[in-house]
Structure 1
């Protein structure tokens, strides 16, 4: 009998028991897996309980061992500490006896040191008195010799500068004579050119009546060449005059700069006879003048570098160059004396990047203030030399706005007094200018009169050399 069942969807036939077989297998498998999982969990719990018991037993054993070790260590430490205390006590007793002996020796040495110190102080005072007397005698002698030497050198320099100035003046006079001669040649050439122009016009007029056209062209070419030759000579003479004037101006600039430097050196030498004022040799790197500041007792207090600039434009590299000189010379202050002040200057002075800039009128004021500052700082440093180094404080003070303001106020007060003198000088200068204006007017009037007379008389009029010299001076001004 066929017991298979046919699926109405896929038309597949199978036994009825096969429909429940798969479901029964899955159910049995789940039951087996659940039982296996229960067994595994039970074993795991038993394992954890066993491990926990072992851990507790191990901790108890560790505590017992640690307690035993601690007791033994404490016992050993107490024993060692007792022995150490006994040894320390014995050593302390020995040290006490030794310290007592050392104290007695120290007291004896202190007593001897006190006696030696008193004797040393007596010798030092006697030596200082002797040194002070010797220093006074030596300083006075050296100062007088230095003053005489500096005065003699300065007089020699002034004499040589005056001789050079006289030579320059003589050379300028010779150049002016050459200029006068060239001007005279120019006047002669101009007169000759005027004559040629008149002759040319006359020949043209005559050629219109008597000479043919070819002769006119020939005469015109000849006269044109002669006129061009005279024009060339006039141009060469003008170039020669300009070249001579340029040489005069170039020759006077170095001399003017040297005169400014000598003038500043003379002012410093007269104001500060105790200081060492030295001029730097020419064509050597460095400032123009070095001022070694000394107190009345001859003690060095610092160094000031002076740079003299007679220029039409104040350049920024003047500041950087003098700062390099300050570092190289280990100087405290740098001063630039210039005829042209920078834009930052007010009332004839300025402080730019630590460098003082002033006019020649303020040399005395600035020099006096900065010199007194160096002497005061040196005095304070000498007084406090046993109280610690105050170099950083002094540098900060020199660089502070307070110090710059104090110097500025003192310089402005001195400058106000000098301004009063300048006002009086301005009044007299105005009077001189009025007189020069009157002289110029009279000279121009005289020139017009002479020109009118020469127009009537012609080239036969005698040359007036004094008037030519006066006209030349007026043209140079």
Structure 2
């Protein structure tokens, strides 16, 4: 197809080449695109102007609508407010009338309540007087019953103690009679021995030559046997006297200790009639008495364990034994009453967790400890309703039971640690001794091996442990 191009200047038509055709097409395309872009931009500007005009018109319309709505709302609010004020005014008038009626009712109720309160106070006073009279009667009855019970128990114990004392006195008299009989027997044996000695002297003087020698030997043998027999009897009698004296002294000390125990229990029962004083029977491991602290209503507040000692010398083992007894009965407090106190304590004091007192100070200390247990119990009762799990755990952690359990574990591990240290010292010493013995054996063996090697030479088999290592082996080892 031939393309004819007309010259704009001379109006002649001609056929362009391919290159010129391509250039012309691009130029026309650019012109078309530029015109198109101009049209697009123009349309865009017109669109923006139109949008701006629409936006302004919209804002004006919005303002007009908002103003109209505002006026309508204000009008409606004024109307509703007026209606509400009218309704409130009517309601206030109704409330005023109602309040007046209520005020009259309240005054009537107050007057009635005052009368009821006066009646209640009268009833309460009468009830309190009745309770006070009942309490006095009950307290007097309980006191009399407790006094009668304590008096009967003390009379029985005193009778029992007197009977035991009479039995021991009778036993002591019998032992003294045995001692007198043994002493008499010893005097008789001594007199007989003196007679034998005199007889022996006479036989020595009367005998002559062979008869004298034979009689002397016979007398010596016979007299030696008889003297040995008498000496044996004298030794047995002395041992018997010492044993009897020890039994008498032991019985006397035991009786004195029992008297102090009874005195302590009597003081506790007389001073604290509401408390329960338990006596630990003889032969059963434990303290002498257990005091259960109770209020006047019989509520238990805690436990005090008592131990009585009446000895000539103070011993630290008393404290450790009472600690074990306290743990066994799970008591809150423990008191040791002793006739002899340590040098560091006068009247009363404390060793570890044990209160150590004399008999004169025992009741004062008992009163203070009892008051402390009752205060702690009151605080626990007050906090029972408020206690959470954390509070319960905390109370257990600060309780005597937890403390006693921890002390048992600590003492156990402390004993185990001491035993381990002793075993370590023993085994270290033993190993050092064995090591020295082994070194001696090795040195002795090396000496023997060296002597034999000097005598025999290379014919003696080599022992690697006793030989120097080769240089190559030493390098490989390094």
- Return the TM-score normalized by structure 2: 0.49
Q: Which has the higher contact order (CA 8 A, sep 6+)?
A: 1
Between Structure 1 and Structure 2, whose CA radius of gyration is higher? Answer: 2
